[in-house]
Amino acid sequence: MRMDRRQGLLLLIVWVLWLAGCASGVPSGGPLSREGAAGAVPPEIARLNEHLGQLAERLRPGLVQVRVRRAQAPASEGAEPSPPDEPRAASGSGFLIREDGLLVTNAHVVADATRIQVRLQDGRRFEGKLIGKDSRVDLALVKIEGVHGLPVLQLGDSNRLRVGEFVLALGHPFGLEQTVSFGIVSRKGAPLRVATPGFDFIQTDASVNPGNSGGPLVNMAGEVVGVNSMAARNGSIGFAIPSNVVKSLLPQLIEKGKIEWGWLGVGIDEVSDDDLSKLGLKEARGVLIRRVMPGEPADKAGLKPNDVVLAVDGARVEGPRDLQRIIAAAPVGQVVKLTIVRQRQETDVPVTVGLYQEPTARQESPARPRPTP
């Protein structure tokens, strides 16, 4: 009798527990999730997070979206051209540099645009007027009217930027609004565009995608150190026009609407070790002139193939990019003194800098220019 009572009590307890489980609906394994306890973030990381957040919030008001409409889409390689009456819309990025609505973007963003519309962070839209552009460096100035007191971004000193420094890339990629990506400066050197006149571009691993073109690349002080211009096809690396180049070109873009680049009219190459004995050189430096274009400034000055340029107005020339940069930045019509080696003899040749003429080049995509290796 006592054993039956114990068995009955045990069955009663099991039955009560089963009912409680059914009523609660909670699996026997315990709660579905756990609330995370507020862990301690290392002070250095916390300060960096706070700084990045404040920086992005401060910079965004100066960022704009640039929308353009073209009369006809340019045909790409292997594709049929679009019908002449088919409009094309595209968008890029830009940033304000003056409170009255002057902004910087890329030349390929506004190329052949029949209409430019600028959208501010607060949602206001304005018609934009193209003030000037240069396709060689891929830089353009646009102005919106009827505004004042707009937030602007400050241009910093890109020469002080070091490889490995943190940077932010701001823009409107894929039509998304006000995005910020974080990375480092990967490299400072030759850009992907061969036509660029010897200036070092800033390479970064901060994500730069279609639509980021024309947006600012910013250092940790909140200064614009570059203008995002192009990227690899997968967006893994981007290239930006250095802010010091932008500052040097702004006066001409505002005054003339274009950049007048210096020009010699020569085909050039590096001096290799194999050229030393043949040309009578002591070291592999300078620029070897491969050809001289008839009727151009170099031809008029008497330069010849196999001349080696060692200096321009006393400034030492290490390689082709040095000569490109010096001549491109020289005022058109200015006489420069080239120190050359010809037939093992060093001599000075005065050359009047000519005007570079933009060749009829293949038009690039407005979303992102195609990199040229």
Q: Residue 49 half-sphere exposure, CB side, CA atoms within 13 Å?
A: 6
How confident is the model at residue 370, as a pLDDT?
37
Local structure of residue 166 (DSSP, 8 states): E
Structure tokens at 361: 């080049």
Q: How confident is residue 363, by pLDDT bands cut at 50, 70 and 90?
A: very low
Q: How far apart are CA 180 and CA 171, in angstroms?
A: 7
pLDDT in tens, 197-231: 778 889 998 888 888 899 999 999 999 999 998 87
**Over 90: is that where the pLDDT of 134 sits?**
yes
24 flagged as catalytic = no
Buried b (16+ CB within 10 A) or exposed e, 194-218: eebbbbbbbbbbbbbbbbbbbbbbb
Choosing from 93, 108, 181, 243, which is the catalytic residue?
108
Residues 6+ apart with CB under 8 A from 35: none
pLDDT in tens, 25-54: 555 566 777 776 666 788 888 899 999 999
pLDDT average, residue stretch 156-181: 90
pLDDT average, residue stretch 175-203: 80
Q: In Å, how far are 10, 146, 176, 225 from 63, measured between CA atoms?
A: 73, 18, 13, 14
pLDDT average, residue stretch 113-135: 94
Alpha helices in 149-223 (DSSP H): none
**Over 60: is that where the pLDDT of 323 sits?**
yes
How confident is the model at residue 196, as a pLDDT?
67
Which stretch of 12-26, 231-245, 309-323 has the lowest confidence by average pLDDT? 12-26
Structure tokens at 15: 């039955």
Contact 279, 241 (CB under 8 A): no
213 flagged as catalytic = yes
* Domains of the chain with CATH codes: 57-74+86-144 (2.40.10.10), 158-256 (2.40.10.10), 262-355 (2.30.42.10)
Structure tokens at 100: 């009255």
Q: Indicate the residue type of 215.
A: G
- The helix/strand/coil state of 50 is helix
Please name the helix (run of DSSP H) or strand (run of DSSP E) that holds residue 358, with its range, or none: none
Contact 169, 208 (CB under 8 A): yes
**Over 80: is that where the pLDDT of 299 sits?**
yes
Q: Let me know the angle formed at the C-alpha of 145 by 174 and 59, rounded to the nearest 5 degrees.
A: 45
Q: How far apart are CA 224 and CA 226, in angstroms?
A: 6
**Over 70: is that where the pLDDT of 336 sits?**
yes
Q: Let me know the angle formed at the C-alpha of 360 by 76 and 333, rounded to the nearest 5 degrees.
A: 150
Compute φ and ψ for 164, nearest 5 degrees.
105, -15
Compute φ and ψ for 34, nearest 5 degrees.
-125, 140
Contact 247, 196 (CB under 8 A): no
How confident is the model at residue 230, as a pLDDT?
81
138 flagged as catalytic = yes
pLDDT in tens, 228-267: 988 776 667 889 999 999 999 999 999 999 999 999 999 9
Q: How far apart are CA 325 and CA 330, in angstroms?
A: 9
Q: How far apart are CA 246 and CA 84, in angstroms?
A: 35
Choosing from 213, 229, 307, 322, which is the catalytic residue?
213
Mean residue pLDDT across the chain? 84
Choosing from 134, 138, 200, 205, which is the catalytic residue?
138
Structure tokens at 141: 């100035």
pLDDT average, residue stretch 116-133: 94
Q: How far apart are CA 30 and CA 52, in angstroms?
A: 40
**Over 70: is that where the pLDDT of 19 sits?**
no
